[in-house]
Structure 1
Amino acid sequence: MTLLTFRFAPSPNGELHLGHAYSALLNQKLASATGGRLLLRIEDIDTTRCTPEFEAGIFRDLEWLGLGWEQPVRRQSEHFSDYRAVLDRLISEELVYPAFMSRGEIRAFITASEKRGRNWPRDPDGVPLYPAVDKALPMKERQRRMAESAPFAWRLDVDAAMARVGTDLSWLEFSDERLSAKRAVKARPQDWGDVIVARREIPTSYHLAVVVDDALQGISHVVRGQDLYSATGVQRLLQEILGLPQPGYFHHRLVLGPDGRKLSKSFADTGLAALREAGASPEDVRRLVGI
């Protein structure tokens, strides 16, 4: 019998807060209840914002909470070759293309289009979709720009990918913390447009790395916050075109601050280290997050 496998996958670009604690403890609870495994993954592909100091803080916080996980810990920064091999495959199958437009050029293009009366589409986060004009560039022009080290990112050609797999794309979503109720959810990767899957200097992105890691680590259940619910459609598309196994998903409730907004590293919300230094116990944190 195959063991169920869960993972907690923080990024060391800030301190963990109560929302992270809830997600980590819920994954631990589900792994324990099902006799499964819990893995820890450090998602540190952003080499400019992720630091060893923040990573050390993650380990201190999780150990203080009493979280246990299997060794070894997977650090994404140590596996760029895995992602590069997958990216090369996407390039060879012409499912990605180099996108050269700068942020300023993107804004100018969209502004000009909206002045002509077009209501520019936006992704589920409210960000304007990328104007995929680069797809029309001749191959020689692409190669010339790349040879001259022009800045670019590899973007997924969503239309080509959807044509490859068909429109009947879905995922299995669990709707309670016991993983007892489940339903099929229609995936809509096209809502995100041609997302970035890699950059010139880093051969991956969050979307690409996470599906590769989940497959390599044998993750059976992805338990993470509701804020990533819509992004699952993009990841399901990548899994399909790469022939990777599909985990089950549970997008849990978010822990909100006193003002009703979700907790965030960037807004200096109360972190686990600050709570610990103020005298809180791991049991206090469990009560605060409802576990």
Structure 2
Amino acid sequence: MKKIFIAAILLVLCSLSSASFASELKIAIMQDAYRDAQKYRPLVEYFKTKGIDASFSLAQNYPEAAKMFSLGTVNAMFSGSGIAGAMIIKDLAVPIVRPVDKDGISTYWAVVLAPKGTPAYNGQAGYFKGKKVILCALASSGEFYLRSIPGDAAGKATIVLAASHGAAIDGLSKGLADVAIVKNRTWDKVKHNYAGLEMVGKDTGENPDGTFIMSSKVDEKLKEQVEAVLLALEADSSTGAAAVKETMGIQGFIKTTMEDFKHTLGLLKKAGVNKSFDFAY
């Protein structure tokens, strides 16, 4: 009887341990600036009120975050479409939801910027020949876009890496490059500060913005629970939900699928991303 009782206790403990592990959400977030980390803190607390044990780990840049994800150090993250798409191609992750900002926007595309008077981008790789191009590494509105252009546009150019899209625009204005490739949403927000720059070209498709992806190996019940919580956020009038929406600057989240990544995945494959891609060129 004693052995049966002990075995029963061990079984319960193992089940609890397994359930705890299965419900543990380990989110990678970027910390290019202190506020980038702080804006996700209310979300972590909100998850906990919904019975999801959430925590986050900081990554200094997207390549580092991608490595953490692929190694299993984290199992979820809000990601730019480039990294998210790369991990989808590598079968490491699946898209869950993406945020909708207060203006109802949830997608973006690459724009090509240059000093006023520069000839318009003609869609050809030769346009970049001999030019310094400043952009963000592993971004669908940055390095991935340049490398997706047929004819080896990246090989014809000198690439200058920037820490952010804003930094790329600022670097172009200071003469650090001849051309910048950046996210259109960033350009729209700051272009009034750069009278000497103009858009000379753009991508023809859209990418999901800030998608929340989860590991392909995560328990399906946890994926479903996380998705349900995030999709219900917009209608939630609680103090915790309000804090999430305020700090993230969003209305709520919408479901995101592989179909939403159709343009992005095509772009990445043209840029040479495949299952063996190691998040670096």
Give your verdict on TM over 0.5: no
Q: TM-score, normalised by structure 1?
A: 0.28
Larger Rg: 2
Greater strand content: 2
Q: TM-score, normalised by structure 2?
A: 0.28
